[in-house]
Structure 1
Amino acid sequence: MVEERIGYTFQDRSLLERALTRLAYTLEAGLPPEAHMDALATLGDAVINVVVVEVVVMGGAHDKGAISNRKMNLVNMTRLRGLAEDLDLEEYVRWGKGEAAQAVWTSGRVLAECMEALIGAVYLDGGMDAAAGVLRRLGLTESV
């Protein structure tokens, strides 16, 4: 179960379900437009950036360029995709039929977006401390 893997239990299970539901799946299943992950992925991207920048600044960085470089090294598609792969996140996501047939999670940014959606859902459910805790447990910010 994803919650065990990330060390966070959702109070609002619908947020977790939404974070793991692709747009293609919602269209095929006739679900309402707000039932897919896209908005959560956008939110999660912002939350991840805030958490990482806060950790970098609290770690003593004060130069804008150094902070930006450190953030870029920590938060990128490859890192987020790697976190998602470590969680086997693709096994929990509700994919559209075409996505599943093509195994879209094996290339590009798809799994990184799923990871962002998951963090967005954690943020809405438990706030910034919960999201930061998940990112720390997953190893994104532990080496900052």
Structure 2
Amino acid sequence: MSDAGAGRKNPGLIEERIGYTFNDRALLTRALTRLAYTLEAGLPPETHMDALATLGDAVINVVVVEAVVAGGAHDKGAITNRKMNLVNMTRLRGLAEDLDLADYVRWGKGEAAQRVWTSGRVLAECLEALVGAVYLDGGMAAAAGVLRRLGLTEKG
């Protein structure tokens, strides 16, 4: 991962990495833009990733539960346990790290100076935002395909 982590790479490269090309490139840009960056740049509030991260979290849960059920699980407890094993901040952060996602995100100056992507759930939220953007752009099948290609689900 780069030291800067300030969106230095071409966002189009992330499309290659996830195997999905956006119809609406503004959604991709929004998914890669942190709130701190928008505040510093004086951008409108609807241009940062937070809402997309919330949406992406829900989409990831639906896709994973659907895949677990399709895989033969029928017991509510077993489904919940399998989902919890597949979807957690550590796992999502690892997938984001595998994509070098921090290199594509537009970070606020303080975030970049502190390298906030190196700890906690920050990168997991960035991945959730990316999935939320894919969902809005291409629907559930597109989001499920991205998650499958990233290795989060075996099927879906």
Tell me the equivalent position of 1:27: 39
1:143: Cα distance to partner? 7.4
Provide Cα deviations, 1:3-47, integer angstroms capped at 9, x if missing partner. Answer: 000000000000000000000000000000000000000000000
Question: Would the aligned equivalents of 2:148 and 2:155 in 1 still touch at CA under 8 Å?
Answer: no
Compute the TM-score of the two structures, normalised by the length of structure 2.
0.91
Tell me the equivalent position of 1:9: 21
1:105 aligns with one of 105, 117, 120 = 117
* Code of the aligned partner of 1:82: G
- Does residue 115 (structure 1) correspond to residue 142 (structure 2)? The answer is no
- Does residue 57 (structure 1) correspond to residue 69 (structure 2)? The answer is yes
Provide Cα deviations, 1:58-79, integer angstroms capped at 9, x if missing partner. Answer: 1110000000000000000000
Unaligned runs of 5+ in 2: 1-12
Unaligned runs of 5+ in 1: none
* Code of the aligned partner of 2:67: V
Paired with 2:45 and 2:142, the residues of 1 have a C-alpha distance of 27
Paired with 1:71 and 1:43, the residues of 2 have a C-alpha distance of 17
Instruction: Supply the RMSD in Å over aligned alpha carbons.
Output: 1.0
Q: Percent identity?
A: 88
Question: Would the aligned equivalents of 2:67 and 2:154 in 1 still touch at CA under 8 Å?
Answer: no
Provide Cα deviations, 1:58-116, integer angstroms capped at 9, x if missing partner. Answer: 11100000000000000000000000000000000000000000000000000000000
- Does residue 90 (structure 1) correspond to residue 112 (structure 2)? The answer is no
1:142: Cα distance to partner? 1.9
Runs of 4+ in 1 over 3 A off after TM superposition: none
1:48 aligns with one of 53, 60, 83 = 60
Paired with 1:143 and 1:14, the residues of 2 have a C-alpha distance of 29
Paired with 2:89 and 2:155, the residues of 1 have a C-alpha distance of 18
